[in-house]
Amino acid sequence: MNEAKILIVDDNPGVLSAGKLFLKRHFSAVETARDPSEIPALLAADKFDVIMLDMNFGKSTRHSGQEGLDWLDRVLQIDPQAVVILITAYGDVDLAVRAIKKGATDFVLKPWDNDKLLATLHAALRLRSSIEQNDRLISRESGANLAAARDLPQIIHRSRAMAAVLDTVSRVADTDANVLLLGENGTGKDLVAQAIHAQSARAKGNFVKVDLGAITETLFESELFGHVKGAFTDAREDRPGRFEAADGGTIFLDEIGNLPLGLQSKLLTVLQEKSVTRVGSNRPRPVNVRVVAATNQDLYEAVKTRIFRQDLLYRINTIEIQLPPLRERTDDIEPLAEHFLKLFAQKYNRPSNGLSAALLKEMVRYPWPGNIRELQHAVERAVIMSKNDKLQPEDFFFREGKSLGGNADWPTMNLDDMEKQLIMKALEKYHGNITEAAQELGLTRASLYRRLEKYQL
């Protein structure tokens, strides 16, 4: 017996009875409906592999086939990939051609020959299988484009704090447990997420990163769950979303703490049901993904203040990993700085003569509110601007003030540098909370994200 679901829509009860009696011996499920107006509800409630649709309903349109063509259009609007076989008692070749041009898969006459009907249905099911296989290929290709096409960066460390983090990573990576990464901006959550994926059984699948803080609410569902052609004005073709692209791999939901409450429920539904429904469709598509989420916010406090759903938190934090800020892993500053020095010296064709002892002393004393990102940016600028054989304290902005707080003198009058320092002060003041920092600076959250990207913070 073929594991397929067939829907027959015909206003003749005899046709429905005969069709169901015959087809249920060959297929796992056969549903029937006399009234075509039931079609939308039926398609919303279930997924059918083949739909057999009568071309003539009622007396006013008897023999014209127009109502069947209209309902064919409606079915394909609901599910553009539906496989529809039209049935009629009148062998009108022109009508058959019109139906197939409109998207019908085939056309049969009634009373039908059982063997011929069975052959037509099996051919339609092979087509359905081919469409779904092609759809999966498109999703994988899209995922390959969405995933970063790069080697996994090395996580450089000497500190015990980071050694403990990576030990946890090695113990949980080969499971399918969802992981929540907590820590300030710039502490390396992205790299740890990639490390979890690389050490898992899903390593050959896609690693797809989604910055939830940068996606507008209007595009959220389309970006994450995909859309079908015609779902909205610019939807010119079917497009898989990030979850489908990550099928068989890992999806990294960065900045999940910034997700508005209304969208949290939609994300929770996908995680619970393990399926997505593209915008403009009502057909759920199963997805097999591992979720790694990250945030710099206190989600437990957010739950208390009712701005983050408790059930979503429980869904994403099977394992929690707290990443320490750079000021709490000072043993890592020297190897990280040396790594960035070598990288940028090669990139900009500058001499790489190392870091002076005085500079290393200052680096350890400086609090690095922007964490590793700030260190990376500082070394890059120093490599470009330094006239010394070895990098010195004066090559870095912190030479005139060890802290960005208080009334310390500005180390530069360059507007970009001052803007960067203001942003860093706001982030430090609000412990990395993007929303509060943006309000303090008089910026929208999207504008602040653009500046964070500009200054690599």
**Is the predicted pLDDT of residue 86 greater than 90, yes or no?**
no
**Is the predicted pLDDT of residue 193 greater than 90, yes or no?**
yes
pLDDT tens profile 254-291: 999 989 988 999 999 999 999 999 988 888 889 999 99
How far is the C-alpha of 287 from the C-alpha of 49, rounded, in Å? 19
Q: Residue 43's pLDDT band (boundaries 50, 70, 90)?
A: confident
The whole-number pLDDT of residue 136 equals: 57
- The domain made up of 2-132 is a member of CATH 3.40.50.2300: yes
Residues of the chain with CATH 3.40.50.2300: 2-132
Q: What is the mean pLDDT of residues 209-234?
A: 86
The whole-number pLDDT of residue 91 equals: 58
Q: What is the mean pLDDT of residues 363-367?
A: 91
How far is the C-alpha of 356 from the C-alpha of 379, rounded, in Å? 13
Specify the residue for token string 């500005």. Answer: 410
pLDDT tens profile 375-396: 999 999 999 988 888 899 888 8
Q: Provide the terminal-to-terminal Cα distance of the chain, rounded to the nearest Å.
A: 59
**Is the predicted pLDDT of residue 408 greater than 60, yes or no?**
no
Half-sphere exposure of 41 (CA within 13 A, CB side): 7
**Is the predicted pLDDT of residue 3 greater than 70, yes or no?**
yes
**Is the predicted pLDDT of residue 71 greater than 60, yes or no?**
yes
What mean pLDDT, rounded, does the chain reach? Answer: 84
Which of 4-13, 176-185, 365-374, 437-446 is the least confident region? 437-446
Give the residue with greater pLDDT, 130 vs 179: 179
Which of 42-56, 158-172, 356-370 is the least confident region? 42-56
Residues of the chain with CATH 1.10.8.60: 328-454
Most confident of 72-76, 114-118, 332-336: 332-336
Alpha carbon of residue 73 to chain centroid: 31
pLDDT tens profile 337-357: 999 999 999 999 988 889 999
Q: Residue 102's pLDDT band (boundaries 50, 70, 90)?
A: confident
Which of 48-52, 110-114, 201-205, 318-322 is the least confident region? 110-114
Most confident of 108-112, 149-153, 216-220, 402-406: 216-220
- Say what percent of the chain tops pLDDT 70: 88
Which of 45-49, 51-55, 161-165 is the least confident region? 45-49
CATH value of 160-322 in 2.60.120.10, 3.40.50.300, 3.40.50.10320, 3.40.50.450: 3.40.50.300
Residues of the chain with CATH 3.40.50.300: 160-322
Assigned architecture for domain 328-454: Orthogonal Bundle (1.10)
User: What global pTM score does this model have?
Assistant: 0.61
**Is the predicted pLDDT of residue 154 greater than 80, yes or no?**
no
| Residues 30 and 19 sit within 8 Å (Cβ to Cβ) | yes
